[in-house]
A = this chain, B = another copy of it.
Amino acid sequence: MSQKIAPLSGFPEWLPGERLVEQQVLDIIRETFELHGFVNIETRAVEPVDRLLGKGGDADKEIYGISRLAAEPDGGDRSQVALGLHFDLTVPFARYVLENAGKLTFPFRRYQIQRVWRGERPQEGRYREFTQADIDIISAGELPFHYEAEVPLVIADTFSRLPIGPYRIQVNNRKIPEGFYLGIGFSPEQIAGVLRIVDKLDKIGVEGVAQALLEAGASLEQAEKCLALANISAKDLSFVDQVRDLGISHETLESGLAELSAVMQAGIAHAPGILVADLRVARGLDYYTGTVYETQLVGQESYGSVCSGGRYDSLASDGRATYPGVGISIGVTRLLARLLPAGAIGTTRPTPTCVLIALGAEQDRAQASSLAAALRSRGIATEVAPTAAKFGKQIRYADRRGIPYVWFPPTEPDAAHSVKDIRSGEQVDADPGHWLPPADDLHPRLVGPVDSAQ
């Protein structure tokens, strides 16, 4: 093992203290999703390549294929199916629903927290391996619209429990631009192309979008209307009048405005100030058909969305049955890659361990182990010192690891145990059968930049 060791670009790994932050974030995400009635599933990491291809816009370019390095030519293993690593959790979930439909109860509310892989060129906030945390509600046949209003509220509740600073969930409804574009004279075949161009507004700007629309055959007036629509944004229901002021009417547009109003009304009632109706949001993936979501950290909008999703109608369909759904996905790695290096999120200590038992001599290890077992039985994470070094060295070991307490067993018969808080230096007698740390010290806790200053 003498190869050079170097990180692989696009495959991030955390140090233990950073991973502890990620664990705590994932714990809160999981707890909140479960409070909202979602059950967990995991899917295998691989899907048939045929199933992955073409499901995510141009995601086919991003798929990693897998193959056995030493496939046996004499068979037994000749799988006819080419396999690839999944690039999101929605496509595998749709397949899981089709495969297990007879064993699930609909509407099926599931959450899924797993790694996904994309062979994209790595850049800030974009990785080749990263963790997503998804919720989806999928139904058999019909999916009631109210779930499109519920999904962003689950995210608002989740994010309110995380010290990630202010954020906004931007919502739109695919029916609004679709109906609007039809209303200004684009043909149904042109819609997807126009949507894709307008979706680049943040990247190429107003001039670029206008240019691209004209090149795609739009009139100057059509291009202006498209840009005017994309420019509409409101924290209340005023977006409806702003759209009406553009003087376009179409049945699909009306339907989209009514649905987006209902989503915004639910947001105003249950998560005031969080939702923004933003008519430029389109989401790249072709399979969305109704409400779509993106989420920005306030003041860090250029970083892009950290939580996105939408309604889809035909992703899970096997020709006989269709399972429409709505879902949203938190980009956990993406979020932490922004917050961790900035020191914007952390934990009260970098290790779960609460107590280090000091060791006077190596032959005391058996008693120290029994003492550790007694503390663990009350939920106190405890380890015994690695060696019977001088106590000063053992305290420094605890300090380097971030362990707050060092426990000293008695050095003479009938003497008392004592425990030292190595942060304050305070040392007190303690009964190993009853001592408990202050509740705040029992486990590490998640803190933001404000709390950590305490």
Contact = CB atoms under 8 A, between A and B. Distances in A.
Nearest to A115: B45
Interface string A411-423: 0000000000000
Contacts of A342: none
Interface residues of A, number: 106
A39 B63 contact: no
A319 B266 CA distance: 62
Given A46-B11, A84-B69, A266 B366 contact: yes
A96 interface: yes
Given A45-B129, A63-B68, A68-B64, A15 B319 contact: no
A38 B153 CA distance: 36
A49 B69 contact: yes
Contact of A44 (B48, B129, B266, B351): B129
A143 to B, nearest CB: 9
Interface stretch (A208-216, A225-233, A378-386, A424-432): A378-386
A1 B35 CA distance: 33
Nearest to A369: B270
A71 B12 CA distance: 21
Given A3-B48, A317-B1, A381 B34 contact: yes
Interface string A364-376: 0110011001001
Given A36-B383, A37-B382, A98 B16 contact: no
A103 interface: yes
Given A40-B16, A41-B19, A318-B5, A66 B46 contact: no
Given A13-B43, A16-B110, A270-B369, A105 B401 contact: yes
Interface core residue of A19, A49, A81, A317 (most chain B CB under 10 Å): A19
Contacts of A68: 62-65, 119
Interface in A104-158: 104-105, 107, 109-110, 115, 117, 119, 121, 129, 139, 144, 146, 150, 153, 157
Contact of A1 (B20, B38, B146, B315): B315
Interface in A254-295: 266, 269-270
Interface in A1-47: 1-3, 5-8, 11-16, 19-20, 23, 34-46
Interface of A: 1-3, 5-8, 11-16, 19-20, 23, 34-46, 48-51, 55, 60-71, 76-77, 81, 83-85, 94-96, 98-100, 103-105, 107, 109-110, 115, 117, 119, 121, 129, 139, 144, 146, 150, 153, 157, 266, 269-270, 314-319, 350-353, 356, 362, 365-366, 369-370, 373, 376, 379-383, 386-387, 397, 400-401
